[in-house]
Homo-oligomer: A and B are copies of this chain.
Amino acid sequence: MNAFSNDRSLTAASLGETALLSRIREWLGPCAPPSPRGMGDDCAVIEPGANLLTCDSVVFARHFEVSTPPDMVGAKLLKRNLSDIAAMGGIPREAVVALFLPPETTLEWLEGFTKGLAKCALDYSVSIVGGDISQSPTLAATLTLTGRARRPLTRGTGGAGDILCVTGPLGASIKGHHLTFTPRIEQGIFLSINDAATACMDLSDGLAKDAPSLAGEHLAAVLDLDEIPPSAEALEQSDGDAAKLTKSVLCDGEDYELLFAVKADAVDALEEAWVDRFGAPFFRIGHLAPRGDGPALVDSATGKAPEGAHGYEHLR
């Protein structure tokens, strides 16, 4: 579907803001509560109690293309934020959405986008409580999400000797996983309730960039490269080339799995409870160690930084 049209009757501009807002509220349906708990006033009045706040954006031609189904764009916008709430061990709650619309954006695209967002919001019990529409030459959107965690899971709070784990396979997300992934909300809540987990984050910029961020300033992330589970797409793409496969699981972004640290003496018990809960184990991929003057990321086989490992650097 083309997101834009020169036929004005098909576009957002044909409605103007007031009518477009009504249309968007229709498309959102039951995930958008009435004012004052939702859209229609200066602010939304929300239940007090949220202790998590995050925001993430999608931009045309960067995070999605003309060929991306608009409902997947809307869902992705929310899921990126859900993954951040999951990484803190939280339950998601309310969202506000700022839209940037070229006047030639079609109503059909906007309907698809909004309904995809709304379906995902219903799936995760998120209320869309407000937003803003600005005219812009670039189609984009920002979503801000609140959440509540009993024990927020943070980065840089693991200890030397803690085991590093991931919730699922990594690499080659660009083949489709970056749109179809499931935010690890249940897993994050599970880790938040269990004291064994000492640190957690979601993998969005690639393990090579993200693991040092989880480890923090004074620790190194020591990875057993052979233990990192590759996705089926990463395996297929590497075509038997081990170096290419390692690069894919280390450097590709948008995995949206959780990377977490667990006290070494508690990891077996945690895994048992995890299997009881989720029917499959997590993956142990290394450990945290004192860093000293060494690199932040270490290949356990060589004791050195993995070759050619880097994460996604925005704006470069």
Contact = CB atoms under 8 A, between A and B. Distances in A.
A16 interface: yes
Contact of A134 (B42, B140, B313): B140
Given A15-B315, A142-B98, A55 B130 contact: yes
B59 A100 contact: yes
Given A54-B96, A84-B43, A135-B62, A315 B146 contact: no
Contacts of A55: 96-98, 130-132, 142, 144
Interface stretch (A112-120, A147-155, A218-226, A278-286): A147-155
Contacts of A57: 98, 100, 132, 134, 142
Interface stretch (A65-73, A85-93, A168-176, A265-273): A85-93
A40 B42 CA distance: 30
A155 B36 CA distance: 8
Interface string A37-54: 000111111111111111
A24 interface: no
A240 interface: no
A44 B36 contact: no
A22 interface: no
A292 interface: no
B315 A54 contact: no
Contacts of A101: 315
Interface in A106-161: 129-138, 140, 142, 144, 146-149, 152, 154-156
Contact of A59 (B61, B130, B135): B135
Given A134-B59, A135-B59, A46 B53 contact: yes
A32 interface: no
A316 B13 contact: yes
A62 to B, nearest CB: 6
A155 B35 contact: yes
Nearest to A147: B43
Given A42-B202, A136-B62, A94 B53 contact: yes
Interface in A194-239: 201-202
A40 B61 CA distance: 27
A31 interface: no
A201 to B, nearest CB: 6
12 contacts: A17-B314, A41-B87, A42-B201, A43-B52, A43-B84, A44-B53, A44-B54, A55-B98, A57-B100, A57-B132, A135-B315, A138-B140
Given A17-B316, A42-B84, A101-B315, 17 more contacts: A16-B315, A16-B316, A17-B314, A17-B315, A42-B87, A43-B52, A43-B53, A43-B54, A43-B85, A43-B152, A45-B51, A55-B130, A59-B135, A62-B134, A132-B142, A135-B315, A138-B138
